A and B are shown apart, each in its own frame.
Chain A
Amino acid sequence: MPQIFRRSANSYARLSLLGALLLAGGLIGLIMAIGSSSYVTRANEFIEQPIQFSHLHHVGDDGIDCRYCHTSVESSPFAGIPPTKTCMNCHSQIWATAPFLEPVRSSFRDDRPLRWIRVHDLPDFVYFNHSIHVKKGMGCETCHGRIDEMPLVLQQNSLQMQWCLECHRAPEQFVRPRSEVFTMGYRPAVPQSVLGPQLVKEYGIQSLTSCSTCHR
């Protein structure tokens, strides 16, 4: 009876063992890498808006305080998108005829809101509260990045639960004085390792990681 397999089958058998291991390991690694990649989280991706509103210009150049537009950030769970009226406070006079701003004017004329595209879009089973974070000394920059340098807003962090928990488990790494919450480019005067625990104590920050903190 002739041999069923040629000698080369030896190599195939060995390679397939190695290949199966590599394939399994590689697949698991790949799935995990994709899961936390910005391909899934859409982080660092510029998102086209109905009007190319530039934070770089309004915050960076003009020095408008965050709360001028996002008025409810200190008192409400939702930081608020400014209504068209807020835009028109200035733009009824400034660049009043610029074609670029026509959508704002028509929104004002027709009393129809501008349809901004949400960049930081948490799933609706997460009840995020802005006011408590601001109250406990969490700077805008920590979560949203250098908004004053963004011509178009992009999501700088993954917004994945592991990212939220990173801070909820060790808030002293990120807390800053309440007076500095709205400062872009804040650098602590004392090392964070000293200041952080102090502020945590002072503001009575708890490490809240129970389910009901967010998923009510």
Chain B
Amino acid sequence: MLGPGHTFESVTEKISAIVMTRRTPVGWFLGFAIAFAFLMLLNVTIGHLLLTGIGIWGNNIPVGWAFDIINFVWWIGIGHAGTLISAILLLFRQQWRTSINRFAEAMTLFAVACAAMFPLLHTGRPWLAAYWLFPYPNTMNLWPQFRSPLIWDVFAVSTYFTVSLLFWYTGLVPDMATLRDRAKSRSAAVIFGVLSLGWRGSARHWQRYEMAYLLLAAISTPLVLSVHSVVSFDFAVSVLPGWHATIFPPYFVAGAIYSGFAMVMTLAVPLRKFYGLEDFITMRHIHNMTKVMLVTGMIVAYGYANEAFFAWYSANPYEQYMMANRMGGPYAVMYWSLIAINAVMIQLFWFRRVRDNVMLLFVLSLFVNVGMWLERFIIIVTSLHRDFLPSSWDMYAPTRWDFAMFTGTIGLFLSLFFLFIRFLPAIAMFEMRTLVEEETHELERPGMV
């Protein structure tokens, strides 16, 4: 799990150098500039959206939800791997989480920030949605409808963001203290000094810290499972064929973790390459991530089979037509691309030779991101555009503003991620140091080596 010959000092030096001493590489500026340009595109889109209205999108009356909700579910799904890595793997005492948890958590936060934009901005009147969705005593004596999964979304996403932020920050405190102590300039020392909240690393600090971290992990685990279940309820609670499927909660969560790990892979491969972190993000990490993707990808593939089977088994003409429409309707190309990626291509991960090929994995993980986006497209659009009444059938085609909003959120995500890489330690230093400690002890044990 760690390259050979590492000491406390070398681990700390290597990780903190990215923030502290090393000159910011040209690639960083280039990447940030591109990401920032897309972020500006997002700003323009939001400005246009607020001034003109949501009619700038391609949504229509049968297809009231399209890119806005596809991208919401996609982003929130991506976030889930971060919590899985930092919380669930902590509960299972999986040490391979150590070197990837920090940036996976950051990925969660930034993905949720992108995701949260859509539920707000896809409403026709975002200036009201921004606060009417919360229960607060008001002069209208009005409360939100607690039976709507869209309200549960508000609570799920805001809780998820808050808890993820707290978890991430808690993890950062000891590392901030390290950065504070290694700071070369007074201003850096003050900034990290404030952020590290006076962390001194005493035994009492650590004892409480471990307990708090474990409890947060224990809270985050049911949270991560419920958040994406709640997102799946947006569909499963409705009566639509193709939406009213009881498998959605576990299947959405599996899909979330699957796509989230794909995004972790997409980020981890360039990160370890450009910053020379091969000693920390080792092949073992890459293998394990691939295996998690394989497991969750198989659950997702099972979900597709299950949907198709129960559409037939239901003996309900609408359900059966829904499936026939997916397989042979106007969006069949997207359905079969989805099957090709998420059910067929994923089988490549069984092979060790594939798991060893980092560049190939990078490409495959990009494909998985696309595949999981297609899944949400299929679920949302094909179920909506042809449902009960044939007189209410229509086609959906996105407009340029749909694409602008989507690529804009990618810009936001990457901008935040670039800033994170530059200003905060991308790998948890103190957790890596415990890894050094444990590996050294293992080596010293008689009979080993």
Contacts and interface: CB of A to CB of B under 8 A. Distances in A.
Nearest to B131: A31
Contacts, number: 24
B119 to A, nearest CB: 23
A53 to B, nearest CB: 30
B198 A13 contact: yes
Given A4-B190, A4-B193, A5-B193, A165 B138 contact: no
B141 interface: yes
Nearest to B181: A1
Chain B interface mostly helix, strand, loop or mixed? loop
B138 A35 contact: yes
Chain A interface mostly helix, strand, loop or mixed? helix
A31 to B, nearest CB: 9
B140 A162 contact: yes
A158 B139 contact: yes
B191 to A, nearest CB: 10
Contacts of A32: 137
B389 interface: no
B180 A160 contact: no
A103 to B, nearest CB: 36
A161 B142 contact: yes
Interface string A1-13: 0001100000001
Interface string B177-221: 000100000100110010000100000000000000000000000
Interface residues of A, number: 11
Interface string A143-179: 0000000000000001011100100000000000000
B189 A162 contact: no
A5 B177 CA distance: 13
B140 A160 contact: yes
Interface in B380-430: none
Interface string B72-83: 000000000000
Contacts of B198: 13
A35 B180 CA distance: 45
Given A4-B180, A4-B190, A4-B193, A35 B139 contact: yes
Given A4-B180, A13-B198, A36 B189 contact: no
A165 B142 CA distance: 10
Contact of B139 (A4, A5, A13, A36): A36
Nearest to B140: A161
13 contacts: A4-B180, A4-B186, A4-B193, A13-B198, A160-B139, A160-B140, A161-B139, A161-B140, A161-B141, A162-B138, A162-B140, A162-B141, A165-B141
Given A35-B139, A158-B139, 5 more contacts: A4-B189, A35-B138, A161-B141, A162-B140, A162-B141
